[in-house]
Amino acid sequence: MSSFHQRLHEFIDQSHMTLDEISLKSGVSTKTIQNWTRNAAPTMPRIDQGVMVAQVLGVSAEYLVTGKVPGELSEKGLKVALAAEQLSDEGKNVALTQVEGLITHFPLGVFASSKAAT
């Protein structure tokens, strides 16, 4: 299981943002974020700061801090959500329309997970 600082590194890398950009968007100092990412004795965020950075990175604070995925979102679902966060608002609308079309035009069992079908 990965640690908080490993997950944070992963999401920072996926965001293609610098720590300074994340700091500016979240309101959390670059030094504080750097302290969270240290391999040796990393510090944990205050709740409010963790939430703000998680929002900038497009991930839930719960997952970032604990590794637990809210709502039992699968690893693939998380990848889809992270990819969608990189889209413009127009891109998100197009993607949502496409997904809704798949759901509407195909039988539930074709694309639905076993949880959704029950």
Say how far apart CA 77 and CA 64 lie, in whole Å: 15
Say how far apart CA 51 and CA 57 lie, in whole Å: 10
Model pLDDT, residue 53: 94
Domain that holds residue 33: 4-71
Q: Name the domain boundary from 54, 71, 88.
A: 71
Question: Consecutive sets of 10 residues in the chain, 118 residues long: mean pLDDT of each?
Answer: 83 92 96 83 83 92 80 73 86 86 68 49
Task: Let me know whether 63 and 83 are in one domain.
Answer: no
Say how far apart CA 70 and CA 72 lie, in whole Å: 5
Count, in order, helices (H) and strands (E) of the chain: 9, 0
Model pLDDT, residue 27: 96
Task: Let me know whether 21 and 54 are in one domain.
Answer: yes
> 102 is written with which tokens?
């798949």
Domain containing residue 32: CATH number: 1.10.260.40
Number of Cβ within 10 Å of residue 28's Cβ equals: 22
- For the entire predicted model, the pTM comes to 0.56
Say how far apart CA 16 and CA 39 lie, in whole Å: 20
